[in-house]
């Protein structure tokens, strides 16, 4: 969010979008509510369709920060098909130790932040999302950033790796 604001890009968070659907009681919201509470991933086809529609909005025309997407190889491949294989400029991986992550999630008070769902999210991350780091590293667009510390400091670190990166293009993912 802060990074998108600083760069004047749209902030596209699939988690936020799903939470909005749940709050609005849409059909999609009703489908994903229990999945989110368990810490599992929403099925790829629902997530990809929602994301692809979102990035056609006017505010995304000048570029966007993807937050929490892609989380699976299928999502990454769909994004490649949608954007072309050079569609992403940078992938930022925030490095945070597991115990610190659990502590942070437990204290932010989100409905889906029970200890059990958090542990499940970490398992799902390791199994389904971590392989994406190698997928994008093969394109040399991955930067790891220390995700521990003050938000302002972490924001500066992220901005410096994005701005120091390849430049020119407009789609970034965190
Ligand atoms: P987040 O706000 O990014 O932590 O996402 C909250 C929840 O939304 C996740 O635990 C998943 O259930 C769901 N979700 C968000 N993004 C995705 C995604 N890219 N693929 C599948 N499920 C997602």
Q: How many Å lie between the centroid of ligand 1 and the Cα of residue 107?
A: 18
Please state, in angstroms and as integers, the Cα–Cα distance from residue 81 to each residue in 33, 69, 161, following that order: 28, 15, 26
Compute the distance between CA of residue 91 and CA of residue 140 in angstroms, rounded to an integer.
Answer: 9
pTM of the model: 0.92
Q: How many Å lie between the centroid of ligand 1 and the Cα of residue 125?
A: 10
Q: How many CB atoms lie within 10 A of CB 102?
A: 17
Give per-residue pLDDT as tens, 1-50: 899 999 999 999 999 999 999 999 999 999 999 999 999 999 999 999 99
Compute the distance between CA of residue 116 and CA of residue 79 in angstroms, rounded to an integer.
Answer: 30
Using CA positions, which residue lies closest to atom 8 of ligand 1?
15
Backbone Cα Rg of the chain:
16
Q: Looking at the predicted structure, is the pLDDT value of residue 168 above 50? A: no
Residue whose structure tokens are 């509510």: 33
- From 36, 39, 65, 66, mutation site for ligand 1 pocket: most ligand atoms within 8 A of C-beta: 36
Q: Looking at the predicted structure, is the pLDDT value of residue 116 above 60? A: yes
Q: In what order do the strands lie in the sheet with 10-13?
A: 10-13, 64-67, 171-173, 90-95, 142-146
78 closest CA partner among 98, 97, 50: 50
Q: Given this model, what pLDDT does residue 166 score? A: 47
**What region does 64 belong to: left with phi over 0, alpha with psi -120 to 50, or beta?**
beta
Q: Given this model, what pLDDT does residue 31 score? A: 98
Domains and CATH numbers, the chain: 2-162 (3.40.50.300)
Using CA positions, which residue lies closest to atom 3 of ligand 1?
15
Question: Which residues contact ligand 1 via a Cβ below 6 A?
Answer: 14-15, 18, 35-36, 39-42, 47, 68-71, 75, 121
Which residues, other chains included, contact 59 with Cβ-Cβ below 8 Å and sequence gap of 6+?
10
Please state the rounded mean pLDDT for residues 131-136: 97
Residue 168, φ and ψ in degrees, nearest 5: 90, -55
Q: How many residues does the chain have?
A: 174
Q: How many Å lie between the centroid of ligand 1 and the Cα of residue 65?
A: 15
* Strand-pair partners of 171: 64
Q: Given this model, what pLDDT does residue 165 score? A: 58
Q: How far is CA 53 from the centre of its chain?
A: 16
Q: How many Å lie between the centroid of ligand 1 and the Cα of residue 117?
A: 12
């Amino acid at each position: 969010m802060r990074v998108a604001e600083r760069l004047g890009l749209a902030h596209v968070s699939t988690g936020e979008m799903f939470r909005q659907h749940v709050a609005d009681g849409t059909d999609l919201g009703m489908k994903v509510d229990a999945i989110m509470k368990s810490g599992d991933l929403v099925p790829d086809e629902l997530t990809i369709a929602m994301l692809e529609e979102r990035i056609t909005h006017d505010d995304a025309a000048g570029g966007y920060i993807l937050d929490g997407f892609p989380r699976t190889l299928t999502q990454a491949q769909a994004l490649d098909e949608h954007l072309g294989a050079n569609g992403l400029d940078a992938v930022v991986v925030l490095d945070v130790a597991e115990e610190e992550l659990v502590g942070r999630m437990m204290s932010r008070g989100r409905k889906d932040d029970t200890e059990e769902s958090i542990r499940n999210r970490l398992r799902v991350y390791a199994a389904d999302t971590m392989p994406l780091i190698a997928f994008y590293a093969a394109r040399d667009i991955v930067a790891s950033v220390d995700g521990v510390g003050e938000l302002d400091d972490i924001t500066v670190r992220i901005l410096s790796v994005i701005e120091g990166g390849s430049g020119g293009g407009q789609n970034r993912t965190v």
